Chain A
Amino acid sequence: MSTTQHSGEPLVHAVNVTKSFHGNQVLKGIDMDVHPGEVVCLLGPSGSGKTTFLRCINQLESIDGGRIWVDGDLMGYADRGGTLHHLTDKQIAAQRREIGMVFQRFNLFPHKTALENIMEAPIQVKGEKKAAVRERALALLEQVGLKDKPSAYPAQLSGGQQQRVAIARALAMEPKLMLFDEPTSALDPELVGEVLKVMRQLAKDGMTMIVVTHEMSFAREVADRVVFMDGGVVVEQGPPNEVISNPQHARTKSFLSRMRQEEQEHVEHLLEAAQRKEPDLLADVEGGQTAAGPRD
C-alpha cells in the first residue's frame, strides 16, 4: 500500500472510530488521516458506512469509540487530564464552523433565496457585517456559475443549480475542510457534470475534501487518494490509478467491476437522452464513431 509522504500534521486524524445504531455496528474501527489540500474519495458498496463516517466527522452523529481530531481539535470532547468531558451544543457548533458539508439531497433552506442561503451562516453564526458578506456571497455565486440567480428560491432552481448553491453556502463559512456525501447521486445524469466541474475547480484551488462518490471518473481524475470501505472497515486505499485500475482485494475488485458496468449503462443512458433531444446532431457524431470503431 503506497501513500504519499506528508510532512506536518494531518487536518483530519481519525483513530479507531466505532459507531453502532441500536446494537448494529456500522463503523468497526476506522483509521484515516487527511492532510491539508488532499482530496480523498470514499468508495464502497451501499451500507458500508461511508455516510455515517462523514457525519461522525462533523458530529451529526456521535461516535462510540476512537477519536477524531480536525485541525488539532478533538471533536465533541474536551480532554482534561485524560478524562473526556462532553462539549456543550454551543462548543460543538463552533467546531463545525471549520467544516463545510454538502448533502446528497442539497438541503437548501427553501424559504430563503439562493443569496440568503449563502449569507445566512456568516451573518447569523459568525456575526459578520451584512454588506461584506453580501459581496462575498455574490462572488461565490459567480464561482459556482450562478451569477444570475441570486434572488431565485431553491424551488425555482434545477437540482444541479441547487447543489451548486449548497456548495457555495458551505464555502461562505470559509471552511478548512469540505465533506461531500454523494453530491451528484440525486441528480439527473445531464446535470452531474456542472456540479463535478465546481468540485474539480475547488480541488484545484487547494481545498481539503473528503468525497463520498460513485463517480469513478471523478475519483480517478481528481482524488489524491481513494479509500475503499466495506462492512464498516477500510479495506484498501491508495492512489486512484493503483486502487481503481489494479485492486488487490476481492471485495474491491467485485465492487469496481459492478461500478464499471453501471458507468457503461450511465453513458448509454446519456447518449440516448441526447439522441432524443437532438437526433440530427448526434447522428453525425455516431457516424464518426462508427467509422473510427463500432460500439456494441
Chain B
Amino acid sequence: MTPQAEDRPGLINARPVRHPGRWVAVVVIAVLVAMMISSFVTNDKWNWSYTFQIMVQKPVIQGVYVGTILGTVIAMAVGIVLGIILAIMRMSNNFVLRGVSFAYTAFFRSIPRYVLLSLFAVGIGYLYNTFQIGVPFTSIHFFTLDYQAYSSTVWIGGLALGLSEAAYMAEIARAGILSVDKGQAEAAQAIGMSPGKTMRRIVLPQAMRVIVPPTGNETIAMVKDTSLFIAAQITLELYYQATLFGSRTFQVMSGLMAATLWYLILCSVLMVGQSYLEKYFGRGFGAPSAKAQQKLQQVAADH
C-alpha cells in the first residue's frame, strides 16, 4: 500500500536551534573592536599620519628591501640548501657524515640568533681578518677574502641567520624525505636512475609536500628575525631605520608602528605565497580541491 501524495512528508522548514551564547560573544567582541578603532581615530598620540610618513621614507624602504627582504632571502637560501645537505648526510651510511650533521644541528640549535649575529660581527673579524682557501699548514692560497669589507652587511647577517636556520631545516627536510615511500626510490633505481638523480627528481619533489608548510613558517619567522641584525651592526634594516626616525623626532610610537605595519604586510604576502606553493607541490596527490573543481566546471560551462 503506497501512501497518497499529500500524506508523504514534503520540504523541511524547521526552526534553527538558538545560540544565545554566541550572540553575547559577538556583541562583546564588536564593542571591543569599536573601542579599539575609536581609540586609533580619536587618540592623537597614535599620530597615524606621521606613522605612514615614516613607512615611506627612503631609508625605511631601503631597510625593507635590503635588510628585511634580501636578508631573509639569503638566510633562507643558505638554510634550505645546507639543511637538505645536512638531512641527506644524517641519513648516510657513513658514520662520519652522520656525526658531523648531528653535531652541527646540536651546536647551532643551542646558540641564540642574537648572540650568533654578535659573534659574526665582532668575533670573526677579530680572529680572522681575511679568509683564505688553500692548502692547510702552507702558504699556498687559491682564494682570499677580506672579511672587513663584508662585516656589517646583510651578506654576513644573512649567512649567520642561514647557518642557524640550516639546523632547523635539516630536521624538516629529514622528516620530508622519510615521509616518501621507500618504493619510490626503488622504482627510480629500477629504471636505471643514479642515487643523486633519484633524490633530486623523485624523492625531494615528493618530500616537498611535507617540507613546504613548515618552511613557510620558518620563512615568516625569519622575516621577523632580521630585526636582530643590529646585533651585527647591520643598520640598513627595517626595524632599526623606522625606530631611528621615531626616536629622532620623539615620536617613538610612530616609529614602532611603522615597523609593525611593514612586518604585517610582508608576512601577509608570504602567507598567500605559501598557500600557492602548497598547491603546486601537492599536485598529483588526491583529487583537485573543491575550488579547482568549481573552476573546471565553470570553464566547461563557458564553452
CB within 8 Å of B: which residues of A?
A: 58, 60, 89-90, 93-94, 96-97, 99-101, 103, 105, 107-113, 120-121, 124-126, 153-156, 166, 169-170, 172-173
List of A residues within 8 angstroms of B195 by Cβ: 89, 93
Contact A155/B194 with A108-B187, A111-B205 known, Cβ cut-off 8 Å: no
Cα of A23 to Cα of B7 in the assembled complex, Å = 76
User: Closest CB-CB distance, B173 to chain A, in whole Å?
Assistant: 17
21 examples of A-B residue contacts, CB within 8 angstroms: A89-B195, A93-B192, A93-B194, A94-B192, A96-B192, A97-B191, A101-B190, A107-B181, A107-B184, A107-B186, A107-B187, A110-B284, A120-B191, A121-B191, A121-B192, A124-B201, A125-B193, A126-B192, A169-B191, A172-B191, A173-B191
Query: Do A58 and B190 touch across chains, with their CB atoms under 8 A apart?
Result: yes
Cα of A125 to Cα of B192 in the assembled complex, Å = 6
Query: Do B283 and A109 touch across chains, with their CB atoms under 8 A apart?
Result: no
Rank and list the top 4 A-B pairs by shortest CB-CB distance, nearest first.
A107-B187, A97-B192, A121-B191, A153-B284
For residue B181, which residue of chain A has the nearest CB? Answer: A107
Query: Do A111 and B283 touch across chains, with their CB atoms under 8 A apart?
Result: yes
Determine if B45 is an interface residue (Cβ-Cβ < 8 Å). no
List of B residues within 8 angstroms of A96 by Cβ: 189-192
Query: Do A112 and B284 touch across chains, with their CB atoms under 8 A apart?
Result: yes
For residue A98, which residue of chain B has the nearest CB? Answer: B192
Query: Do B183 and A103 touch across chains, with their CB atoms under 8 A apart?
Result: yes
Query: Do B192 and A120 touch across chains, with their CB atoms under 8 A apart?
Result: no
Q: Which of B260-282 contact A (CB under 8 A)?
A: 281
Cα of A110 to Cα of B285 in the assembled complex, Å = 7
Determine if B202 is an interface residue (Cβ-Cβ < 8 Å). yes
Cα of A264 to Cα of B124 in the assembled complex, Å = 77
List of B residues within 8 angstroms of A94 by Cβ: 192
User: Closest CB-CB distance, B65 to chain A, in whole Å?
Assistant: 34
Q: Which of B73-102 contact A (CB under 8 A)?
A: none
Query: Do A125 and B186 touch across chains, with their CB atoms under 8 A apart?
Result: no
User: Closest CB-CB distance, B229 to chain A, in whole Å?
Assistant: 38
List of B residues within 8 angstroms of A121 by Cβ: 191-193
Query: Do B194 and A170 touch across chains, with their CB atoms under 8 A apart?
Result: no
Cα of A58 to Cα of B186 in the assembled complex, Å = 11
List of B residues within 8 angstroms of A111 by Cβ: 205-206, 281, 283-285
Query: Do B283 and A90 touch across chains, with their CB atoms under 8 A apart?
Result: no
List of B residues within 8 angstroms of A108 by Cβ: 187
Query: Do A93 and B284 touch across chains, with their CB atoms under 8 A apart?
Result: no
Cα of A113 to Cα of B284 in the assembled complex, Å = 8
Query: Do B201 and A155 touch across chains, with their CB atoms under 8 A apart?
Result: no
Cα of A112 to Cα of B284 in the assembled complex, Å = 7
Cα of A263 to Cα of B199 in the assembled complex, Å = 41
- Total A-B residue pairs with C-beta atoms closer than 8 Å? 79
Determine if B141 is an interface residue (Cβ-Cβ < 8 Å). no
User: Closest CB-CB distance, A53 to chain B, in whole Å?
Assistant: 15
Contact A124/B193 with A111-B205, A155-B286 known, Cβ cut-off 8 Å: yes
For residue B288, which residue of chain A has the nearest CB? Answer: A156
Determine if B295 is an interface residue (Cβ-Cβ < 8 Å). no
17 more contacts with CB within 8 A, not counting A99-B190, A103-B186, A109-B188, are A89-B194, A101-B190, A107-B181, A107-B183, A108-B187, A109-B187, A109-B206, A110-B284, A111-B206, A111-B283, A111-B284, A113-B284, A121-B192, A124-B193, A154-B284, A155-B287, A169-B191
List of B residues within 8 angstroms of A103 by Cβ: 183, 186-187, 190
List of B residues within 8 angstroms of A100 by Cβ: 190-191
For residue B183, which residue of chain A has the nearest CB? Answer: A107
Cα of A264 to Cα of B191 in the assembled complex, Å = 37
List of A residues within 8 angstroms of B191 by Cβ: 96-97, 100, 120-121, 125, 169-170, 172-173
List of B residues within 8 angstroms of A97 by Cβ: 191-192
Contact A153/B283 with A89-B194, A90-B194, A105-B183 known, Cβ cut-off 8 Å: yes
Cα of A125 to Cα of B286 in the assembled complex, Å = 28
Query: Do B197 and A124 touch across chains, with their CB atoms under 8 A apart?
Result: yes
Q: Which of B121-176 contact A (CB under 8 A)?
A: none
When the two chains form the complex, which single residue of B181, B184, B189 contacts A93, counting CB atoms closer than 8 Å? B189
Cα of A169 to Cα of B202 in the assembled complex, Å = 14
Cα of A101 to Cα of B183 in the assembled complex, Å = 12
List of B residues within 8 angstroms of A166 by Cβ: 187
List of B residues within 8 angstroms of A107 by Cβ: 181, 183-184, 186-187
Query: Do A173 and B205 touch across chains, with their CB atoms under 8 A apart?
Result: no
For residue A154, which residue of chain B has the nearest CB? Answer: B284
User: Closest CB-CB distance, B279 to chain A, in whole Å?
Assistant: 13
Q: Which of B188-226 contact A (CB under 8 A)?
A: 188-195, 197, 201-202, 205-206
